[in-house]
Structure 1
Amino acid sequence: MLITKTYQDVPTKLDANGRPIRIFVIAPSLPNYPHAKFPGVVVFSEIYQVTGPVERFAGQIASQGYVVAIPSIYHEFEGPEAIPYDNEGTDRGNLYKIEKRVEAYDEDATLAVDLLTAHPNCNGRIAATGMCLGGHLAFRATFDPRVLASVCWFATDVHSATLGKGKQDDTLARVRNGDLTNNGELVMIFGKQDTHVPREGRDLVRKTLEDANVTVSFLEVQAQHAFIRDESSKGRWDAALTRSLFTYMLEVFERTVGRDLGPRVETTEAPRHVC
């Protein structure tokens, strides 16, 4: 499916400098069907904003029949341009990550979901995904009841609760409080060789989610951090594994937002099987 790429500059309330957030939009292009409706997906980037790998990742999702919104997460500090994959860019991105307030990250997510639900070609059924920092932001996006599923790729700082200014986020605390119980589906994907999220951290995230009865799938694969990044991954890109897990992500999206099953109805009756 062909795609189009545009963007919108959206006003924010929490940016003290009054800067808007630029949200890039990649959507299916069907010239003969201008009123076609598709589910929406918010794609959250790593600390480098919307780089080539992030845009390609989002474009692949859009080409499968989704309207995709990608927020430029560091609008408080600089423009929407991608931050280079070099030492200076890494230091800058990591600094911004802990200078930005957690509630400002949440506002960005809300604005991206708002944009999708108002998009003329979106049917209002929303999912989220993201990598690294973006994995954590996709996790938090699931607190919004409009987000029906999130697939989080090697989400950082969840286990340590160190996202945002003050390095004291409440992500797992909210999970323990029940904010994700019966509220969307979560998929956590980690590489076992990921030095950013050690085994103890992964175990903590998994236990917290399962203890809170969150609908979650937890995947641990033989890979390192950033293994889905097809550029400047420091030799960690695994194209074959990325392809397999991308297909899995699409299954989750198709099942949760690609089909409208109507309202959920709880039942205690066991399914009947006829032989």
Structure 2
Amino acid sequence: MLIQQHITDIPTATGTMRTTVYRPQQAGQFNAIIFYSEIFQQTGPIARSAAILAGHGFVVLVPEIFHEFNPIGTVLAYDDAGKDKGNADKFAKPLEHHDSDTVAMISYLQEQSFFASKVFSMGVCIGGHLAFRAALNAQIKGAFCLYPTDIHSNTLPCANGNDSLSRCGDIQGPLFLVFGKQDPHVSPEGRKLIYQTLSDQQREFTWLEVNAQHAFMRDEGERYDAAQALRCYLMAIEFFQQIS
């Protein structure tokens, strides 16, 4: 399936958020995936991931998740300076502002002639957390979360009691969570906490732990695991197709 892409600037409660839209070239209406990036925003690996998903018949939105703190179009490098800036942005933006960004993207989709009816979420690293967080919104019909950080530790700013794990009982759609066993960012104890909390809340979720490091989906750098990445793309596509 051939795809096209364009840029749109979406108004949000906290300012303009540049968002790249990937979608099939053919005419028709398609369900959508909000694809949340790592702290570096829309790098080459993120763009390629979005294109893969769109090529399987989805509208894919890639927002600039830290639009409040950076000039429009900012992409951080995969180096120490980029990591430091991205982490500073991560710890400066309240989860409530991510919530309002999600609302804005859903509203945008509902105004588009190429959108069918359902919105899903997916992401990597902090984006995995944001995909999980987006599922608190009842209009998100399913979330695929790849090595989501900061869920177990409640280290992202938010109002008391409004952290993502404490509120997971509000999630109505199915979840699919994937963790790397060699990921130092989410300890075995942290993974157990997430699993047990979701179980206690009787949420519908699929759980997978693989032998891989953090950022194993990123097709740049020494941690990239092509076999695991391909497997995850196929599982994500099947997951979204089943609930479409």
Q: TM-score range by the shorter chain?
A: over 0.9
- Tell me what 2:112 maps to: 119
Offset of residue 243 of structure 1: 0.6
Task: Give the 3-state SS of the residue equivalent to 2:12 in structure 1.
Answer: coil
Deviations 1:12-38 (A, max 9, x none): 22x2xxx311111001001xx3xx011
For residue 137 of structure 2, what is the amino acid of its counterpart?
A: D
Q: Structure 1 residues 64-73 or 115-124, which shifts more? A: 115-124
Question: 2: CA distance between counterparts of 1:127 and 1:110?
Answer: 13
Question: 2: CA distance between counterparts of 1:214 and 1:130?
Answer: 19
Question: 1: CA distance between counterparts of 2:162 and 2:49?
Answer: 27
For residue 192 of structure 1, what is the amino acid of its counterpart?
A: K
Question: 2: CA distance between counterparts of 1:210 and 1:168?
Answer: 19
Which of 203, 207, 210 in structure 1 is aligned with 2:192? 203
Contact 1:98 1:166 in 2 (8 A): no
Deviations 1:49-100 (A, max 9, x none): 0111001001100010001111101111112321111100000000000111
Please show how residues 1-275 of structure 1 align to structure 2 within 5 Å: 1-13=1-13, 15=14, 19-30=15-26, 33=27, 36-79=28-71, 80-164=73-157, 170-175=163-168, 178-180=169-171, 183-232=172-221, 235-257=222-244
- Tell me what 1:263 maps to: none
The 1:166/1:127 distance shift into structure 2, 3 A limit, reads: closer
The 1:150/1:65 distance shift into structure 2, 3 A limit, reads: same
For residue 29 of structure 1, what is the amino acid of its counterpart?
A: Q
Question: 1: CA distance between counterparts of 2:162 and 2:178?
Answer: 21
Query: What is the aligned residue count?
Result: 243
For residue 97 of structure 2, what is the amino acid of its counterpart?
A: A
Kindly name which structure, 1 or 2, has the bigger radius of gyration based on alpha carbons.
1
Contact 1:162 1:169 in 2 (8 A): no
Question: 2: CA distance between counterparts of 1:169 and 1:146?
Answer: 19
Give the TM-score normalised by structure 1: 0.85
Question: 1: CA distance between counterparts of 2:88 and 2:160?
Answer: 11
Offset of residue 164 of structure 1: 3.0
Offset of residue 118 of structure 1: 2.2
Question: 1: CA distance between counterparts of 2:207 and 2:43?
Answer: 27
Offset of residue 167 of structure 1: 10
Question: 2: CA distance between counterparts of 1:119 and 1:171?
Answer: 29
Task: Give the 3-state SS of the residue equivalent to 1:159 in structure 2.
Answer: coil
Contact 2:96 2:158 in 1 (8 A): no
Deviating above 6 A after TM superposition, structure 1's stretches of 4 or more consecutive aligned residues are 165-168
Contact 1:195 1:225 in 2 (8 A): yes
| Seq. identity, % | 39
Contact 1:184 1:215 in 2 (8 A): yes
Contact 1:98 1:165 in 2 (8 A): no
Offset of residue 107 of structure 1: 1.0
Offset of residue 116 of structure 1: 2.1
Give the TM-score normalised by structure 2: 0.96
